[in-house]
Amino acid sequence: MKQPSSSRAGPAGARRRNGRGESVGFNANPLLTVALPSWRSKLMLFLLFCAFVALAGRAFYLMGGVSTDFLQRQGEARYARTLEIPATRGRITDRNGVVLASSVPAKAIWAIPDDVEASNEQVAQLARLLGMNAGEVKRRLANDDRSFVYLRRQVDADVAARIADLKIPGVHSSREFKRHYPEGPTSAHIIGFTNVEDRGQEGVELAHEKQLAGRSGSRRVIKDRLGRIVEDDWLREPFDGRDLALSIDNRVQYIAHSALKAAIEKFRAKAGAAVVIDARSGELLALANLPTYDPNARGKLAGDAIRNRVLTDTFEPGSTMKPFSIVAALEAGKVRPDTKIQTAPGKLTIGDRTIGDAHPHGLLTVEEVVSKSSNVGTAKIALDLPAQTLWDTYTAAGFGQAPQLGFPGAVAGRLRPAKSWRPIEQATISYGHGVSVSLMQIARAYTAFARDGDMPPLTLLRQDAPPAGVRVMSHETAMAMRRMLEMAVGPEGTAPGARIPGYRVAGKTGTARKLRNGQYVREYVASFVGFAPVSDPRIVVAVMVDEPTGQYYGGLIAAPVFAQITAATLRTLQVAPDGPMEETKSPLLAMREAR
């Protein structure tokens, strides 16, 4: 700030000496002396002071506690990250722990078309890895309107790693899950499937979505300069979905599926369904539906194949309903198993309508009415009862109510209130026409005969303890009906085709014409419901074949399917035989006996 001064005099002295006319130094030229007002430097000083105060104030504002988050946030953004931790969907297993559905991480491959720079060679490699057509990949990458295209979702992790190795700019991947169904079409209808977001859409996947899904978590982490996580803080812990053990036995499921499939091919039927229930616990061992689909290849899903016919389709049960009408009469004390019923001449006229038997039978006992499946006999017995009594018996057996299975889409069937029945309807309902049921309902109803007259709740989940049943008929009635149903598969009955070597079986055939727009048409539903072994029933099996061609009697079509399923299932469950072996003895057995 000091003015440079001459060596001879200081600036103050120079100025004073000017007036005396002495020679002055260059620097002391009075013209150069400007009289600055002293306030200017003070103002300058004050402004500088204000600037420093402002800086200090700002620093205090940011760091001293008034608004500290901003800088902290900015700082953290440079080393901290919030990671989304996805939850793995629970596994679905069968009763023996065999995996039926399981999720593994996969990658979604996507691209930003504008950024993609790939040679033809690279595109061809990419297409090959994705299992797509090279032209299709090119077309998608050439799509300039969009800034984001999925090339393919749910790519296996090792394939995704090889795609990453191609290092094509603009092609990226993100994490997701892929659900695998090792059993494929065999058990597709029970398990259902998920969508690409891993959410349940059908079957058990949908019914138990909450339990299976789990909840994703998030985690705040600090990364070092190499990207390694050095500190973390859980904002929300993820919960993996819980595993679900079904009551299904995958071996029995396969048995039911393949037996049904063979029958449907043989009779060129439109569809079919089969269900196997463990009579002791009410657990579903198998539930097969055809046509079916492959849940692993969801591109080809068709509505008709997805439908779970066992639960969602109703049909007129036909003769499989008769035992319940007889049960009502036995319970009411109106008849006994050996009461004689006149069914000649095989026709019965009620009002202006006539019902008839397929073959005229003459005088039959109640037992024979069931085993020979006489419509006239059943109708005569049923007409002797108040309509309400019949209705009560049917309702107790679960007709007209949706089975409580915890499964989406289970239907109730149709059973009109007893007050609205006309006599002809009472007669036809007694042999299974004018009512509709699902295969599951009819199978469940037969558990009462397979047990002691009580019905357990059905379940799709593995049970640890057998549940308590609800009694729907007396022990004596159940035993009498068991005997009658065993006669029905005897040589004199309607379904000798249901018999199997080594085990005593019991069951009832059903053949019903289908209703279309309120008219009966020449299309049939052949069914068979039964249980085995009769001495101590273990399983209840129900089979339904929809629109078989050529034959249509339940005894010819559904009964052999029942026999195949039952024989193989009892063997698989290692149930001791209680009947005669009709087939040739094994060489080993012959050897043992010879000794």
Partner 1 sequence: MIRRGLVLLLALALFLSALALVTAQHRSRSLFIDVERAHQQARQLDIDYDRLKIELARLSQPAYVEAEARRLGMKPVDGGRTVFLNLPAASAAAPLAPGATK
Q: Which residues bind partner 1 (CB under 8 A)?
A: 91, 98-100, 102-105, 157, 180, 182-184, 186, 224, 228-232, 250-251, 254-255, 258, 500-503, 533, 535-536, 567-568, 571, 576-586, 588-589, 592
Helical residues (DSSP H) of 451-530, grouped into ranges: 475-488
Which amino acid does the sequence have at 238?
P
Helix ranges (DSSP H) in 167-213: 188-191, 203-207, 209-213
Q: Which is nearer to partner 1, 251 or 270 (CB)?
A: 251
Instruction: Identify the active-site residue in 319, 430, 436, 438.
Output: 319
Query: In terms of CB distance, is 48 or 230 closer to partner 1?
Result: 230
Do residues 552 and 526 lie in contact, with contact meaning Cβ atoms separated by under 8 Å?
yes
**Smallest gap from residue 180 Cβ to partner 1 (A):** 5
State in angstroms the smallest separation of the CB of 108 from partner 1.
Answer: 17
What's the closest the beta carbon of residue 182 comes to partner 1, in angstroms?
4
Instruction: Supply the minimum distance, in Å, between the C-beta of residue 230 and partner 1.
Output: 4
Shortest distance in whole angstroms from residue 532 CB to partner 1 = 11
For residues 326 and 553, what is the distance between their CA atoms, to the nearest angstrom?
Answer: 22
- How many angstroms separate the first and last alpha carbons of the chain? 132
CA atoms within 13 A on the CB side of 72: 8
Amino acid letter at 337? P
Three-state secondary structure along 353-394?
EEEECCCCCCEEEHHHHHHCCCHHHHHHHHHCCCHHHHHHHH
Q: Is the dihedral of CA 87, 204, 244, 467 positive or negative?
A: positive
Q: Name the residue nearer to partner 1 (CB basis): 42 or 81.
A: 81
Separation in Å, CA 212 to CA 23, 406, 517 = 107, 14, 41
* Cα 378 to Cα 371: distance, rounded to the nearest angstrom: 11
Q: Which is nearer to partner 1, 255 or 405 (CB)?
A: 255
Q: Quote the least distance from Cβ 372 to partner 1, whole Å.
A: 26
Q: Output 317 or 533, the one with its CB closest to partner 1.
A: 533
Q: Name the residue nearer to partner 1 (CB basis): 53 or 590.
A: 590
Q: Which residues are CB-contacts of 149 (< 8 A; sequence separation ≥ 6)?
A: 110, 111, 113, 140, 141, 143
Q: Nearest distance from residue 337's CB to partner 1, in Å? A: 22
Q: And the tokens for 275?
A: 């269900």
CA–CA separation, 405 and 241 (whole Å):
21
Give the type of residue at 506. Answer: A
Strands 244-245, 92-93: parallel, antiparallel or unpaired by DSSP? parallel
Rounded to the nearest 5°, which phi and psi values hold at 130?
-80, -10
Element (H, E) at 174: strand 171-180
Residue 315 or 503 with smaller CB distance to partner 1: 503
Which structure tokens are listed for 165? Answer: 């190795």
Residue type, 364: L
Q: How far is the CB of 101 from partner 1 (least distance, A)?
A: 9
Task: Name which of 436 and 564 has its Cβ closer to partner 1.
Answer: 564
396: left (phi over 0), alpha (psi -120 to 50) or beta: alpha
| C-beta of 290 vs 390, nearer to partner 1 | 290
User: If we measure between CA atoms, which residue out of 310, 308, 306 comes closest to residue 298?
Assistant: 306
Entry field: residues in the chain: 595
DSSP string across 46-73: HHHHHHHHHHHHHHHHHHSSSS-HHHHH
Q: Which is nearer to partner 1, 91 or 433 (CB)?
A: 91
CA distance linking residue 349 with residue 253, whole number of Å: 45
DSSP letter at 268? T
Shortest Cβ 48–partner 1 spacing (Å): 37
Residue 575 CB, shortest distance to partner 1, in Å, is 10
Q: Which CB, 100 or 385, lies closer to partner 1?
A: 100
Q: How far is the CB of 498 from partner 1 (least distance, A)?
A: 15
Residue 325 is among the residues annotated as catalytic for this protein: no
Exposure string over 537-554, b if 16+ CB within 10 A, otherwise e:
bbbbbbbbbbbbeeebbb
Instruction: Tell me if residue 245 falls in helix, strand or coil.
Output: strand
Q: CA neighbours within 13 Å on the CB side: how many for 440?
A: 31
Sheet holding 284-290, edge to edge: 284-290, 271-278, 539-546, 519-532, 506-516
Q: State how far the Cα of 126 lies from the Cα of 123, in Å rounded to an integer.
A: 5
Which token pair is 296? 């692993």
Residues recognised as catalytic: 319
